[in-house]
Amino acid sequence: MKTLGDLPGVPATAADDLKWESTLQARAALRGVVVIRSTTDNGRPCWIATRWALTKQLDSLLELSAWLDRVGAGGSKP
């Protein structure tokens, strides 16, 4: 059975997750997007991305990465 860590470009450890999150925040900042780590009402982690009047909740780093690619904040993946 494959895990997220087995997918290309997805970190395998918690330390890799922190590095990937920092990389995604830097990619976002280069496009003027602020990314804040938060939690949902049920305690699950989420990331809030904001720029101008846009606010978007993303439920995983993989989802955040894909969204950044769509808004033109592309970059190399880990």
**For the chain, what is the domain count?**
1
Pairing of strands 34-39, 54-58: unpaired
Q: Note whether residue 48 is domain-resident.
A: yes
Whether 55 is in a domain gets the answer yes
Within a domain: 68: yes
For the chain, which residues score pLDDT lower than 50? 1-3, 78
C-alpha–C-alpha distance, residues 9 and 78, integer Å: 5
- What pLDDT sits at residue 41? 94
Q: Is residue 2 part of a domain?
A: no
Q: What is the pTM of this model?
A: 0.74
User: Cα–chain-centroid distance for residue 2?
Assistant: 21
In a domain, 6, yes or no: no
CA 76 vs. chain centroid, Å, equals 13
Domain of residue 42: give its range.
Answer: 31-78
Q: How far is CA 46 from CA 1, 2, 7, 34, 56, in A?
A: 25, 23, 20, 14, 10
Q: pLDDT tens digits, residue range 27-48?
A: 999 999 999 999 999 999 999 9
